[in-house]
Amino acid sequence: MSNKKRRYLDSFMTLLFITGIVIFMYPFVSDRINDYLDQQIIRKYQQQAQQQKTEELEKIQQEYLEKNRELAKSNSSPGSDPFAEEEPEKVTQSTIQKHTIGVLSIPKINVRLPIFDQTTSFFLEKGASLLAETSYPVGGESTHAVLSSHRGLPKAKLFTDLDQLEKNDLFFIESQNGKLAYQVDQIKIIEPTDLDDLMIEKGQDLVTLLTCTPYMVNSHRLLVRGHRIPYEDQDIEKEVKKIDSQKKRSLLILVFVLIELLVVGIVCFICYFKH
């Protein structure tokens, strides 16, 4: 084989090798990047909440509580299936901050997502979206918040592992009304149009996590419901901090992998020109 043909073959094999690595790493890298962006949204929300005056926070909280009371009185049905809505919307950074109303943490599956007060295709891919006509996630009797998110996206984890939750597992919500804890008491699979399990139950303080199922088929909906329990600061903070440490570890792994790919690329580039 001539040197020229050999060089072309080496170049092709190198390109094929790098392409294979990129395809293999895409889900991991894109998930880490999207997760990093989600954590930035959460930090900005927390900073904004700290900077707001007590009077402003109390006003927002009262607005949420009043809307929840109105929902409880009207006993209206929840909005339509969130995954059937595909309305376009121009999204800016200010839009994201405007619609961020809390933080959802699920330690068992290493998930920490911003909560948005609007269900659109964009917000479903960025965090947990509040289903229309369900209670704001600020707690209180006769409330039932429904938080939905995608599952199985190649670029983001979101609710992909929601089916791993079992009864008595815990998840937490940070909102204008402080930090709330919920314990899983019901797990169901329903038809997309069957919304009876999302109704408000008198005297109960409930939150349901909703996503598509089966994985990659998405013909039904998985409901993971929790009832509110006392928030034990010391124990729960440890669980939430575990999520942060795991996410930092994942980010370091991503940086290491990218550096390795860069080194491999440089070595291949140098070898190509030497030959």
- Of 99, 114, 130, 93, nearest to 43 by C-alpha is 114
Catalytic residue selected from 144, 150, 220, 275: 150
- Of 149, 78, 94, nearest to 120 by C-alpha is 149
Instruction: Give me the half-sphere count of Cα atoms (radius 13 Å) on the Cβ side of residue 220.
Output: 10
Catalytic residue selected from 212, 227, 268, 271: 212
150 classed as catalytic: yes
Q: Buried b / exposed e across 66-87, counting CB within 10 Å, b at 16+?
A: eebeebbeeeeebbebbbeeee
Mean pLDDT of the residues in the chain = 82
pLDDT tens for 53-101 read 677 778 888 899 999 999 998 877 787 677 765 555 667 777 888 899 9
Residue 116: what are its φ and ψ, rounded to 5°?
Answer: -110, 150
pLDDT tens for 114-159 read 999 988 888 998 999 999 999 999 999 999 999 999 998 877 889 9
Please report the pLDDT score of residue 150 as a whole number: 92
pLDDT tens for 16-31 read 766 776 666 666 666 7
| Single pTM value for the model | 0.76
DSSP structure class, residue 180: E
220 classed as catalytic: no
Domains of the chain: 3-274 (2.40.260.10)
